Structure formats: C-alpha cells, structure tokens
Structure 1
Amino acid sequence: MAGRIVRWGVALGLGALWWWAVLRLAVGRGSGVLEAAFVAGGWGLSLLPVHCVPKARATGAVPEGRWGAAWRAGEVTRASPHPRSGEVSDPS
C-alpha cells in the first residue's frame, strides 16, 4: 500500500512540474532551456509503448515467415493463397 502511494505521489509531482514547465514556456517571458528540456523529455516519455503484448497474443499480428516468403517470391500476392481482385491465381 505504501509503495502505491509513493508511486502516485511521484507521478503527480512530476506531472505538476511538467505542466508548470509547459505553462511557463507558453506564457512566461523568462523561460529557457531548462523548461524546454523538461517539457521535451516528458513528451518523449509519453511516446513509449506501454501497452505492448507479445506478438503471439497481438490481434492482427502477421504470422512468422509471411513477409520473408513474400520477399523471396518477389510479390506479396504469391505469399498469399488468395489472389487480389482481378488477378488470376497461379495453377502450379
């Protein structure tokens, strides 16, 4: 329980500092490199993929070897058993 409170406190504190830096950059005349670096760092952290799952469990994930087979075949349609609209499938 104490660990959760500490994590939330740190997250809220850093969030408040980040918003302070954003507002200081947007409104204040005395802002500088420190605020800009803090804002850019916080924004960069928001781009981290925190909702990742293993490829085997991902919805719509391409199976292993599909792209390699398409590359070796020379075109994507040969790697798929289903031809695209208007194409004739290879009888061989």
Structure 2
Amino acid sequence: MACVNCRKIRSAILHGKMAEAAGLTVGVLREKVGLLTAGEPLVDATELPSLSGKTKAELLAIASAEGVEVEDGATNAEIVTAIEAKRELVAA
C-alpha cells in the first residue's frame, strides 16, 4: 500500500496535471520530494492502474510514470500496447 503522499502524487500525475507541466516522471518527482528511497521500485505492481477507458492524456501520464517511451503521434491503442509490453517485461 502506497503512502498518502505517494497516492496524491500518483493521482496528480495520472491526471496529467503535475508531471506533464513539469516534464517529470513519477519516479523523478518522488525522488525530488524525498519519497523515493534507493532500490525502491518506481511503480508498485499491485497498484498498476487500469488502461481501459482512459483518455490519451491519462495514458501518456501512465506511460511516463511507468517509464514507457511513447512516440509522438502514437494512438491510444499504440500507447496501451507499449504499456502492456513494458508491464509484461517487468513481471517476467
């Protein structure tokens, strides 16, 4: 279970408000505010957000938070595919 501050930060990032404006990923943001310790995973696999029904901005924020690089002009389906592929690699 993530701490309250982590949930607030993740929520803000997933809604594309804070991270996109600052050009940061969730890991960088958590590190900057002192919430990330050495060796701690950037994303808790048990708390991965669902990808269905998300807007493009939300998908891009999720991709950024999970360290997924997305090409400019990628469609929602391409973003979802990239996120899912990264998740499979991390889980393996």
Same fold (TM over 0.5): no
Which structure has more relative contact order (CA 8 Å, sep 6+)? It is 2
Per the normalisation by structure 2, the TM-score is 0.23
Per the normalisation by structure 1, the TM-score is 0.23
